[in-house]
Structure 1
Amino acid sequence: MERSRSAFDHWMHKHHFTFRDTRGRNITVQCNLCLPKINILSTARDSTSNLKKHLERKHSVVCRRRIRDAPSVDAPSSDGPSNYVPSSYGPSVPENQTAESLSETKEAKIDPTNVYHQTSQSRLNTLVFNFIVEDVQPISILEQPGFRKLIEALSRGKKVMCRNAFITRLEVAFSKMKGELKAKLDKVQTLCTTADVWSVQDRSYFGMTCHWLEDSLERKSAALACTRIPISYTCETIIAKIQEIHSSYNIESKVQATVTDNGNNFVKAFKEFSSEDDQEVEQSRFEDLGSILCDGEMGGDFFLSYFLPPHQRCASQTLNLIASKDLADAVSKGQAGKLHSGAIEKCAAIWHKAQSSTEAADSIESIAKMNFTVPCLNQWSSEYYAINKLMSLSDSQLNELSEVLGFPHFTPDETAYLTEYTDVFKPVAFALDLLHGEEKCFLGIVIPTLLTLKRKLEEKAANTRLFSKVIDSTVKAIDSRFKQVFESSDARLATATMPQFRLWWLPEDERESLRAQLITEVLQVDQGTEEAESNGGSVHEDEFFSYGPGSSGNKGGKREAAEEVWLYLQGTNKDLKCLNEFPGVKKVFIKFNTTLPSSAPVQQLFSNGSNIVTPKGHHLSDQHFEHVLLLRYNSKITTALE
């Protein structure tokens, strides 16, 4: 059965939350702004006040931006008085104004028709269009009599656009958005893309986002595609889509790497078709170009392998795999395997009860004196934080909880075990949160994060009673699964150009080699800039010859690059802004740290898409579904919705 409508379904900030469950008179939602932390919130079906308070406390910037952009109507909203903006924020009332005239003024201000009466038909169409796209409303709302009457009454007789008009406007807005995005990407020197496949309701979609760094080192992001693919897709399908999307935005030569999860299709595709340097080169042979172009299969593989960028596996997903598989296997096979199994079963019973029963959830929150956390499937860190929250309760609270729910009590050995478990593997949870970021997360943090994680785990091993062998297995898994990253020249240079790390993370005997690589990279990016600036311009005679003081041959060069790198490596300022003092190093930083360590952004794209594709009544074609999704995602960097 479908759930009945609630106040949440019509709320202006609904898109910041994902609906989870209905519990009697309450509903539970997940805050999207709190990600990667899983934050489950509860609110009454007929009110959104709890969610508003959460936004005001935790995400006040979003609230202020929404209020700033909203129409200036000093009237309480239908959600309740919490949306009301006191009149003291507006113009003051003259002292000599009478009570009668003041009442008339208030009436005029409160009457919303005064605002919409001034709205032209064109402006009304824009507002309705943006309402549907931004708040993920079904197109069918345009044909609902109640909605049409509401808009016509508020706008004094103006008409609501029809479905065909909306589709036409959607195509125009998408075309404008894509044109603006291509113009922005034309100016970008280096970028990375993230890709993934999302399956829902017997349909599969291929999604891709791109990311780059401005000269200010601020990260920018955009969605490139969320296109339908066959449900039984192959690695050839994936490769074709990557090339097609990169080509449609003219970014093939700019992509530093494509970040994906560890799925077999992606791994196989990049292994077979990647143009990375470490691919084995077969013995050279001559081929007739005409036969290559005429041979569909061979010609396709030829060009696909040429344009495919280097592959970067998602570091956060790899670490999650270590925690949920390697670590879990070592725990189950260890001396405390049965203890772990019994303790986790009791935790899972509490989580299930909290999720399936509103009364149980209320009882748990009453006893625990805090919002209760239910872990997400296949996310180790989510389970870790849920266990940690349970273990933060006192023995008396745990016992009371077990009695209320009718479950066996935790034994002293089980609570001691889980307490030690959360203490020992706290660094793993912290590292996962660190690698899951986007705006301030760079490829250069991966190696230091892993090295620090290994060191902290090894320190824990000396003081743990039950987990020394588990820690040893986890450290070995980190070395094995991240071997490619530890050996990657790109990852090492990305780390060296981060002021927070420089070369301090490296053993002394390896620093000189990486310093020499950094000098070489600074020389190359400087030469690339000079060539770009001189292309098409006339060459002066003094610039042609490079003899004597002040000549171009003595400017820059290896000596100046080496001096800049030396000064940078001697510095102690860990702020990224200090890179402005070292322009060559800054360019190398942008080149290698443009790559994200995580594919989380494309997963966020799919999260937004689930709000559009799941509810009935949207009736969007695959193409129009993609248009709506990309318009929403790219609204911060384009003007298509203005």
Structure 2
Amino acid sequence: MSLTTIKKATSKKGHRLNVREKDTSRQLSFRQAQEMSRHFTQDKGRQAWVKWFTTLCIAPSISAHPATREMMKVFRPEFNLPSHTAMKNTIDDQARKAKKELMSILKEARYVATTADAGVHTIAHSWVALCIGLMQKLCAESMARSPARAKVQPDKGAPGKRDLQDHSEFGITRKIVATTTDNGANYCAAFAHFGDNQDDPLAVAPEHEDPDGGDVAIVSVHDLLEEEVEDEAEDLPKLPTQRRCAAHTLNLLATTDVSKVVGWNYGTGRQARQPFTKAAAKAQGLWNLHNRSSVVANKIRDVVGRKLNTPCPTRWNTLYDATECLLKTALKDPETIEAINEVMKSEAAGKRAAAPVFTEEDKEILQEYCKVMKPVAICLHRLQAEVNAYMGILLPYLMLLKRDLQAIKREGELRYADPLVDALLEQDGTVHGFNNRFMHLFADEDLLMATLTHPNHGPFMLKHVAPALEEDIKERLIREIVTSITPDPLPSSQSQDMVTEKPKEASDDPFAFLESPTVMEEDGSNIGELIKKEVDTWGRSKVAEVKPGQFPSMHREKWISLFIKYNTALPSSAAVERMFSTAGDVLRPKRASMTSDRFEKSVFTKETCSSWMLS
């Protein structure tokens, strides 16, 4: 029954149904509506079936498998299961509709941010993903960032060239404010060649780390770029400004930068203190036993009441999370520690090496590790979120991280982890440590503008983040608002033409004096003073969700426009990293025959159609 039919039947205007007629278009009762929603139809079944396939990235061929059809006969015998070809056609149609919808949204967007990532898997497939994020229009109630994960394509060359093609395909080449990538060598080289990152002190750094290992293709990027661009035109579009993923950089800070800290986990000679190395080795041994044997895992669960979290090298924060879980469960009290040691001894029985056992000193060392790394883990967790992921949150959270680490050092309560705090804050060289990785960002005027225009931070946070540049950034904000308000002066030739075309009686216009340059300058100055008062009195909002009412009332549209301009860029590439987390489900040995086009449509449909078309 259509909505129009129901509306006509219940309307007080127009035709009224004859009570003696069979009422086939009356409004449904609440119970009937509930029964209708539960009523099964072939369309509903097909829609749910496609949604399940796209959400889990299941190969369409599974739909035609005899075991699948036998299972569905038990659950829903009347459902006509789509064939392999029908499933492919449906997914293709959904991907086509979603792409059309996405392109229409991008066409209306003024500013767009992208993230990019490349992955290599063992089935000889290399993939490049482009994730598009745009700021939705501000409405009267609220505004939000809408991540639109758009493209996944096989990498047949340099990632920079692939990104340029994607930008052109979606018509966003001139709309992108920044592209956020990880610290992989391939993307750093691509942006150094195709983009303009001369101001990035890390753009020419001697090393680019990526602890995820397989996520980066080890190829001669420089040779690829030289070969592909040599014969192309000089007016080839440039890549936008590159922003390093703050979450990935924090992960490097927490892993690579502290992998060799003298007095903590590294040293030479018998006198070298390595307290964390011994405690971490025992913890890793317990985790290995837990993952290697289900029998041991059950024994540990019997002791602590749950299964342990174990580290994963391709997931951020997992070492901290696993250590924290270990302290709360296996090492929570002497009795539990003794029980865990007995499990480890029983597994080492009959072996030459004695079983390592936990001591109270090990517990204290791991506690200090968690105390020091907790601010890093919290900051990383905040920056990798996709909700309210504005660039303006980056500097405040980094400032908070540095202050927390400095506070831990000032407390002087650490017996073992003082070298760890020092290594996190500052190290010699140009790459490692917080100061080398992040301090240059606190002088980036675009990032400071993003912080200043964010309602949760504003002028209050600016004076804490960059006190030396506070007045300069405020003046820049005032200048940009005044410039957007004050109309541009006409060219001299055009103004002369307009003067000659003026009718004679215009000389008697009492408002003619307002057109004089002096008055315009005075008005501009007055506007600037009023805006300066607005800036100085603008208090920060404590509501996480950004809404139009949080901006100053005077010239609110201009404030919002600047907020969108500087906050559209993403502080983290976690969105595209999560997209690639589905690749392991698709690229299994039994699905190695899946074509590049099929893989792209599967992921695109999963990330887009599952929420837009199939909800």
**Given that residues 139 and 617 in structure 1 are in contact (C-alpha distance below 8 angstroms), is that contact kept between their aligned partners in structure 2?**
no
Distance in 2 separating the partners of 1:162 and 1:190: 42
Residue number in structure 1 paired with 2:14: none
Structure 1 window deviating more from structure 2 (339-348 vs 439-448): it is 439-448
Q: Which amino acid aligns with 1:413?
A: E
Task: Please state if 1:566 is matched with 2:533.
Answer: yes
Q: Which amino acid aligns with 1:488?
A: D
Q: What TM-score comes out, normalization by structure 1 length?
A: 0.70
Amino acid at match of 1:246: H
Tell me what 2:266 maps to: 333
Q: Distance in 1 between matches of 2:448 and 2:417?
A: 31
Question: 1:634 Cα deviation (Å)?
Answer: 0.8
Alignment: residue pair count: 503
- Displacement of 1:508: 4.2
Alignment match, 1:445: 393
Q: How far apart are the structure 1 equivalents of 2:161 and 2:475?
A: 38
Residue 474 of structure 1: aligned partner: 424
Q: State the SS of the aligned residue for 2:358.
A: coil
- 1:210-257 CA distances to partner (integer Å, 9 max, x unpaired)? 112222330101122110124xx5xxx111111100110000111110
Distance apart, 1:439 and its partner CA: 1.4
Structure 1 residue aligned with 2:471: 512
Q: 1:321 to 1:152 in 2, by over 3 A?
A: closer
> What is aligned with 1:499?
455
Q: 2:284 aligns with which of 325, 348, 353?
A: 348
Q: For the Cα contact (< 8 Å) 1:442–1:593, is it kept in 2? A: yes
Pick from 293, 305, 325: which aligns with 1:369?
305
Asked whether the equivalents of residues 461 and 467 of structure 1 are also in contact (C-alpha less than 8 Å), the reply is no
Distance 2:143 2:536 in 1: 19
> Using a 3 Å threshold, how does the CA distance of structure 1 residues 135 and 414 change in structure 2: closer, same or farther?
closer
Return the offset for 1:262. 0.3
Query: Could you list the per-position Cα deviations for residues 44-63 of structure 1 after superposition, in whole angstroms to 9, with x for gaps in the alignment?
Result: xxxxxxxxxxxxxxxxxxxx
- 1:48 corresponding residue in structure 2: none
- Does the aligned pair in 2 maintain the 1:190–1:590 contact within 8 Å? yes
What code does the residue aligned with 1:630 have? Answer: F
Alpha-carbon distance in 1 for matches of 2:511, 2:77: 76
Q: Deviations over 1:341-390 (max 9, x none)?
A: 11101000111111122232222233223442111115562111211222
Task: Indicate the residue corresponding to 2:294 in structure 1.
Answer: 358
SS state of the match for residue 174, structure 2? helix
Summarize the Cα distance change of 1:612–1:527 in structure 2 as closer, same or farther, 3 Å threshold: farther
**Is the alpha carbon distance of 1:279 and 1:423 closer, same or farther for their aligned partners in structure 2, counting shifts above 3 Å?**
closer
Match of 1:311 in 2: 242
The answer to whether the aligner puts 1:395 opposite 2:351 as a matched pair is: no
Contact 1:522/1:584 (<8 A) preserved: yes
**Which residue number in structure 2 is paired with residue 285 of structure 1?**
none
- CA gap of 1:266–1:135, structure 2 versus 1, over 3 A, is closer
Sort the Cα spacing of 1:132 and 1:266 in 2 relative to 1 into closer, same or farther, 3 A.
Answer: same
Q: TM-score, normalised by structure 2?
A: 0.73
Report the Cα distance in structure 2 between the residues aligned to 1:187 and 1:557, rounded to whole angstroms.
Answer: 31
Task: Give matches, 1:110-125, under 5 Å.
Answer: 115-116=39-40, 118-119=41-42, 125=46
Deviation at 1:156, TM superposition (A): 7.2
Q: Distance in 1 between matches of 2:44 and 2:372?
A: 58
Q: Offset of 1:428 from its aligned partner?
A: 1.5
Rounded Cα–Cα distance in structure 1 between residues aligned with 2:467 and 2:59: 61
One-letter amino acid of the structure 2 residue matched with residue 178 of structure 1 = K
- Distance (whole Å) between structure 2 residues aligned to residue 177 and residue 504 of structure 1: 44
* Secondary structure, aligned partner of 1:329: coil
CA shift at 1:131, angstroms?
A: 3.6
Match of 2:384 in 1: 436
- Alpha carbons of structure 1 residues 483 and 423: separation in structure 2 relative to 1, 3 Å: closer
Q: Deviations over 1:47-98 (max 9, x none)?
A: xxxxxxxxxxxxxxxxxxxxxxxxxxxxxxxxxxxxxxxxxxx949xxxxxx
Matched, 1:382 2:318: yes
Task: Specify the alignment match of 1:205 in structure 2.
Answer: 127
Amino acid aligned to 1:469: P
Cα 1:279/1:414, change in 2 over 3 Å: closer
C-alpha distance in 2 between matches for 1:247 and 1:326: 38
Listed as ranges, the matches of 1:11-50 within 5 Å are: none
Residue 296 of structure 1 deviates from its aligned partner by: 7.7
Once the two structures are TM-superposed, the CA of residue 188 in structure 1 deviates from its matched residue by 0.8
Cα–Cα, structure 1 residues 248 and 529, in superposed 2: closer, same or farther, change >3 Å?
farther
Q: Report SS of the residue matched to 1:441.
A: coil
**SS state at 1:472 partner:** helix
Alignment of 1:56-67 (within 5 A): none
Report how far residue 566 of structure 1 moved.
Answer: 3.3
RMSD across aligned C-alpha pairs, in angstroms?
A: 3.7
Give runs of aligned pairs for residues 204-243 of structure 1, distance below 5 A. Answer: 204-214=126-136, 215=138, 216-230=142-156, 233=157, 237-243=158-164
Q: What is the Cα deviation at residue 604 of structure 1?
A: 0.8
2:356 paired with 1:408: yes
Which of 403, 422, 444 is residue 488 of structure 1 equivalent to?
Answer: 444
1:168 Cα offset (Å): 2.8
* Structure 1 position 189 matched with structure 2 position 107: no
Distance verdict in 2 for CA 1:124–1:452, change over 3 Å: closer
For 1:528 and 1:621, the matched residues in 2 are separated by 54
**1:491 Cα deviation (Å)?**
1.0
Query: Do the aligned partners of residues 637 and 564 (structure 1) sit closer, same or farther apart at CA in structure 2, a change above 3 Å counting?
Result: farther
In the alignment, what sits opposite 1:320?
251
In the alignment, which residue of structure 1 is the partner of 2:551? 579
Instruction: Choose 1 or 2 for highest CA Rg.
Output: 2
Q: Secondary structure at the match of 2:446?
A: helix
**Runs of 5+ unmatched residues, structure 2:** 1-29, 202-226, 346-354, 427-432, 491-497
**How far apart are the structure 2 equivalents of 1:456 and 1:336?**
28
Provide the identity percentage: 24
For CA contacts below 8 A with separation 6 or more, give which structure has more relative contact order.
2
